[in-house]
Amino acid sequence: MFKRFRYACLMALWLSAFSQVSAHDLSQDQALKLRQEGKVLSSQTFIERALERHPKARLLELELEEKHGRYIYEVELLTVQGQVRELKFDASSGELLEDEEDD
pLDDT band at residue 62 using 50, 70 and 90 as cut-offs: very high
Give the SS3 label for residue 24. coil
- What pLDDT does 19 receive? 44
Q: H-helix or E-strand containing 7?
A: helix 2-18
SS (H, E, C) 80-102: CCCCEEEEEEECCCCCEEEEEEC
Could you give the domains of the chain? 2-101 (3.10.450.40)
pLDDT at 9 over 70: no
What pLDDT does 52 receive?
97
Give the mean pLDDT of 4-16: 57
**CA 51 to CA 76: how far, in whole Å?**
10
Q: What percent of the chain has pLDDT over 90?
A: 73
pLDDT at 20 over 60: no
Q: Higher confidence at residue 71 or residue 2?
A: 71
At residue 5, the pLDDT reads 59
Alpha-helical runs (H) found in 37-77: 43-53
- DSSP H or E run through 34: helix 28-36
Q: Phi then psi for 57, rounded to 5 degrees?
A: -70, 165
